[in-house]
Amino acid sequence: MLEFLRYGFMQRALLSSVIVGTTCSFIGVFVVLRGMAFAGSGLAHAAFGGVALGFLLAVNPLIAAVLFCLGTAGLIQVASRRAQLRMDAAIGVFFAFAMALGVLFIGLMRRYDARVYGYLFGNVLGVTQGNLILMAALGLVVIGAIGLLYRQLKFLTFDEEMAEASGLPTAALAGLLLGLLALTVVVSLKTVGIILVEALLVTPAATAYQLTHRYGMMFVLSWITSVASCVAGLVISYAVGIPSGAAIVIVATVVFALAALFSPKRRKCKVCGHESGA
Amino acid sequence: MADSSVRFDRVTVAYQQMVGIENVSFDLKPGEFLGIVGPNGSGKTTVLRAVLGLVAPAAGSVQVLGASGHDIVHVRRQIGYVPQRRPLDPQFPISVREAVAMGLYPALRPFRRPTADDRRRVEAALVSVGLTDSADHVAGHLSGGQQQRLLIARALVPEPRILLLDEPTSAVDVTTRFAIVELVRRLHAERGLTTLYVTHDVNEILPCVDKVLYINRTVRAFGSCEQVLNRETLEALYGGPVILVEEGGRRYVVVGDSHA
């Protein structure tokens, strides 16, 4: 059963799935509760520009993607705060710009390199030792920052206006969240790819949201769902011979559907008797 | 004026070239209760935001607990703020106790958990507003009046010296409205708070206030109830004839043939 773990590439694939599943599950709680799904999608597309730049300049495409995503996140934050533009409009402007740069960089390459397109759908079996180290480092930064500012981010997410009135630096915290989201996108690029990363940013946390009324428990359930979906998807893709990114997302979506179907939130609240009407 | 709790000196606040308030001056001593009245868009909330240091005056100066300008940020944790209530998301995964404890978070250093004393303050705030029995309920499952009590409890947790309330009785029924006013009056008296209370309904605050600020961009009247709430001022406030009724030692304002 576990014979596939004898292969080095499968061990790296499994480890990368756990890293990606963990990182996405934690930031995903904020993506779901703060309505940042479009930001996740936008930053994922912005990563394409960074990957293309990396191949054009012959530097590590993940490093280039980190810089590109963080730059795009910064531009979105500045545009939405300083130009008083709605966040979704700012995202729309800059993710299309970053994608256009990606297309431009590909056009500037002297010869066609199919590896660029590998980042669109991910290739978990192609994760290298170097990729793993970078993913683990970025994942630790994301999880460490969330742990460091757990309560402050909770207040920001629940009631941003009150958090600001209470003296929390809400603009800085919101910008930090966007930056952490950008790093998470890069962590996930090799495993699920630009197109499918959105699913891991949203689906496990959305599943947890169906199952609990407790904020802390939402992180736990999101993590369990996410890592389980990543590992199960990887194993299924190996057993059946289908693309791993797609398998991971399909498993996560099935779990979400089951959670939504049997969500205790659809029943009368056991504590106070409140009926959601959902 | 060093003993002022809140002092506005010819304060003008503008938003994107639009004047929010203009040349506003008033002075509150520690422990005083100020009712702020005025029509919609008259700048009542802007006054509260200026006290919090969330908007910077284009002219004049705001002093709060001896701090002014950027230094107001340093005294913000001594100010409890109850914003205009928006219904809480019934699905947001957070309990009443957690929502109240958020009042502590701005003072918490990263990685630091609330101490036993912090937890005691949360429980005390829950007791003060009568939400102990609902402490483990989902915050968004509370009724409108209970959600208002939650916001008041959260404002009390840092044990503030100043309490700001922005239309705390909007969108609640009449019974709940008077219960909330009574709660605010009791907290003000018990804790010696300097209280600024924004409302549309003069009758609501008549039993509590020491001073009234009637504002419509600029100060139309400021002083004691007797000085401000005369027929002339009230008719300007409500835009029509009013009747002042004295009953059981209390004054009520009736607008036209309906209660104000």
pLDDT in tens, A32-53: 999 999 999 999 989 999 999 9
Confidence grade of residue A278 (pLDDT, cut at 50, 70, 90): very low
Q: How far apart are CA B241 and CA A139, in angstroms?
A: 67
pTM over 0.95: no
Model confidence at B260: pLDDT above 50: no
Question: Quick one: average pLDDT of B238-260?
Answer: 71
Percent of chain B whose pLDDT exceeds 70: 97
What distance in Å separates the CA atoms of residue B224 and residue B211, rounded to the nearest whole number?
A: 4
pLDDT of A269 reads 72
Whether chain B has a CB inside 8 Å of the CB on A271: the answer is: yes
pLDDT band at A172 (very low <50, low <70, confident <90, very high): very high
pLDDT digits (tens, 9 = 90+) for B169-196: 887 787 888 888 888 999 999 999 999 9
Decide if pLDDT at B110 tops 80. Answer: no
Which residue of chain A is at minimal alpha-carbon distance from B140? Answer: A274
Domain that holds residue A104: 3-194
Task: Write out the two tokens for B74.
Answer: 């340093």
Closest CA to B122 of B148, B151, B100, B138: B100
Token pair, residue A132, equals: 């793993």
Locate the domains of chain B by residue range. Answer: 6-229, 230-260
Does any CB of chain B come closer than 8 Å to the CB of residue A162? yes
Q: Is B36 exposed, middle or buried (0-12, 13-18, 19+ CB in 10 A)?
A: buried
pLDDT value of residue B256: 67
Does residue A41 belong to any structural domain of this protein? yes
Q: Which two tokens stand for residue B100?
A: 């109240």
What local confidence, expressed as pLDDT, does residue B20 receive?
Answer: 87
Binary contact (B105, A165; C-beta < 8 A): no
More confident residue, A194 or A82: A194
- What pLDDT digit, counting tens, does each position of A228-276 carry? 999 999 999 888 988 888 899 999 999 999 999 988 877 777 667 776 6
Query: Which of B46, B64, B94 is most worth mutating to test chain A (most A CB atoms within 10 A of its CB)?
Result: B94
Interchain proximity B77–A161, CB inside 8 Å: no
Instruction: Provide the pLDDT confidence category of residue B85 given band limits of 50, 70 and 90.
Output: confident
- Residue A203 CB neighbours (<10 A): 28
Which one is predicted more confidently, B256 or B92? Answer: B92
Rounded CA-CA distance B221/B208 in Å is: 18
Find, in chain B, the residue whose alpha carbon is nearest to that of A274: B141
CATH number, residue A173:
1.10.3470.10
List the single residue in B102, B134, B138 with the smallest CB-CB distance to A155: B102
Higher pLDDT, B18 or A89: A89
Contacts of B192 by beta carbon, 8 Å cutoff, 6+ apart: B30, B31
**Edge-to-edge, what's the strand order for the sheet holding B18-28?**
B18-28, B6-15, B59-64, B67-68
Instruction: Tally the domains of chain A.
Output: 1
Which pair of tokens denotes residue B98? Answer: 């957690």
CA-based nearest distance B47→chain A, Å? 13
Per DSSP, helices labelled H in A83-111 are 87-108
- Residues B92-120 have a mean pLDDT of 89
What is the token pair recorded at A125? 């079996």
**DSSP assignment string, A29-81:** HHHHHTT-HHHHHHHHHHHHHHHHHHHHHTS-HHHHHHHHHHHHHHHHHHHHH
Please name the fold of domain B6-229: Rossmann fold (3.40.50)
How many CB atoms neighbour CB A34 within 10 A?
A: 17
Residue A86 domain flag:
yes
Q: How much is the average pLDDT of B17-34?
A: 91
- Residue A257 CB-half CA count within 13 A: 6
Ranges A56-65, A105-114, B91-100, B238-247: which has the least confidence: B238-247
List B242's β-bridge partners, or say none.
B255
pLDDT in the model for residue A1: 58
In a domain, A210, yes or no: no
pLDDT at A277 exceeding the cut of 70: no
Residues of chain A found within 8 Å of residue B98, distances taken between Cβ atoms = 154, 215
Contacts of B105 (CB under 8 A, 6+ apart): A151, A152, A154, A155, A163, A166, A168
- Residues A3-23 as b/e (b if ≥16 CB within 10 A, e otherwise) read eeeeeeebebbbebbbbbbbb
pLDDT(A152) > 90? yes
Query: At B257, is the pLDDT very low, low, confident or very high (cuts 50, 70, 90)?
Result: low
State the pLDDT confidence band at B236, using cuts at 50, 70 and 90. confident
| DSSP label of A169 | -
Q: Which of B83, B68, B70, B87 is nearest to B6 (CA)?
A: B68
Share of chain A above pLDDT 70, in %: 96
- pLDDT mean over B118-134: 93
Q: Which of the pair, A219 or A120, is modelled with greater confidence?
A: A219
Q: What is the mean pLDDT of chain B?
A: 87
Cβ contact, residue pair A158, B134, below 8 Å: no
CA of A271 vs chain B CAs: smallest distance (Å):
6
Mean pLDDT of A171-200: 92
CA pair distance A185, A198, nearest whole angstrom: 8
β-pair type (B218-223, B211-216):
antiparallel
Q: Does residue A43 lie in a domain region?
A: yes
Q: What is the 3-state secondary structure (H, E, C) of chain B?
A: CCCCCEEEEEEEEEECCEEEEEEEEEEECCCCEEEEECCCCCCHHHHHHHHCCCCCCCEEEEEECCEEHHHHHHHHHHEEEECCCCCCCCCCCCEHHHHHHHHHHHHCCCCCCCCHHHHHHHHHHHHHHCCHHHCCCEHHHCCHHHHHHHHHHHHHCCCCCEEEEECCCCCCCHHHHHHHHHHHHHHHHHHCCEEEEECCCHHHHCCCCCEEEEEECEEEEEECHHHHCCHHHHHHHHCCCEEEEEECCEEEEEECCEEC
Between A274 and B134, name the one with better pLDDT: B134
CB-CB contact of B212 with B224 (8 Å): yes
Q: How far apart are CA B18 and CA B41, in angstroms?
A: 12
Q: Which residue has the higher pLDDT, B162 or B208?
A: B162
Note the pLDDT of residue A5. Answer: 79
Numbered residues of chain B with Cβ closer than 8 Å to any chain A Cβ? 52, 54, 73, 76-77, 81, 83, 90-95, 98-99, 102-103, 105-106, 108, 110-111, 134, 136-138, 141, 154
- Specify if A59 maps to a domain: yes
Please give the mean pLDDT across all residues of chain A. 90
Contact A30, A157 (CB under 8 A): yes
